Amino acid sequence: MKKILIICLAAAMTSCGIYKNYQRPDVVTDGLYGTAETADSTTLGDISWQEMFTDPQLQALIDLALTNNTDLQSAQWRVKEAEATLKSARLAYLPSFNFAPQGTISSFDNGAASKTYSIPVTASWQIDIFGGLTNAKRKAKALYLQSREYQQAVRTQLIASVANLYYTLLMLDSQYEVTKETAAKWEESVRTMREMKAAGMTNEAGVAQYEGSYYGIVASLNDIEYSIRETENSLCSVLGEVPHEIVRGRLDEQQLPDNLAVGVPVQMLSNRPDIRQAEYSLMQSFYATNAARSALYPSITLSGSAGWTNNAGVITNPGKLLLSAAGSLLQPIFNANANRANLKIAKAQQEESKLAFQQALLNAGAEVNNALTQCQTARAKTDLRIKQIEAMERAVESTELLMQHSSTTYLEVLTAQQSLLSAQLSQIADQFDEIQGVVNLYQALGGGRDLTTEEK
Tens of pLDDT along 9-22?
A: 444 444 455 678 88
pLDDT exceeds cutoff 60 at 455? no
Query: Which residues, at least 6 apart from 70, have a Cβ–Cβ distance to it below 8 Å?
Result: 240
CA 126 to CA 94: how far, in whole Å? 8
- Mean pLDDT of the region 342-364: 92
More confident residue, 159 or 393: 159
Classify domain 96-127+301-331 by CATH number. 2.20.200
* Residues of each domain in the chain carrying CATH 2.20.200: 96-127+301-331
Concatenated DSSP letters of 271-289: H-HHHHHHHHHHHHHHHHH
More confident residue, 323 or 357: 357
Q: How far is CA 337 from the centre of its chain?
A: 40
Radius of gyration of the chain from its Cα atoms, rounded to whole angstroms = 37
User: Which element (helix H / strand E) includes 387?
Assistant: helix 382-405
* Residues of each domain in the chain carrying CATH 1.20.1600.10: 18-93+131-296+336-454
Classify domain 18-93+131-296+336-454 by CATH number. 1.20.1600.10
Q: How many helices (H) and strands (E) does the chain have?
A: 12, 5
Phi, psi of 321 (to 5 degrees): -70, 135
For 231, half-sphere exposure in the C-beta direction (CA atoms, 13 angstrom radius) is 22
- Mean pLDDT of the region 96-101: 77
Contact 25, 350 (CB under 8 A): no
pLDDT exceeds cutoff 50 at 378? yes
Among 7, 10, 65, residue whose Cα is nearest residue 238: 65
* Digit-coded pLDDT (tens) for 205-219: 878 888 888 899 999
Identify the pLDDT of residue 307. 72
CA 57 to CA 242: how far, in whole Å? 18
Confidence category of residue 406, pLDDT binned at 50, 70, 90: low
Record the pTM: 0.83
* Digit-coded pLDDT (tens) for 242-293: 999 999 999 999 999 888 888 888 888 888 999 999 999 999 999 999 888 8
Lowest-pLDDT range, 190-194, 343-347, 405-409, 417-421? 405-409
DSSP state of 265: G
Strand, helix or coil for residue 40: coil
Percent of the chain with pLDDT over 90: 43
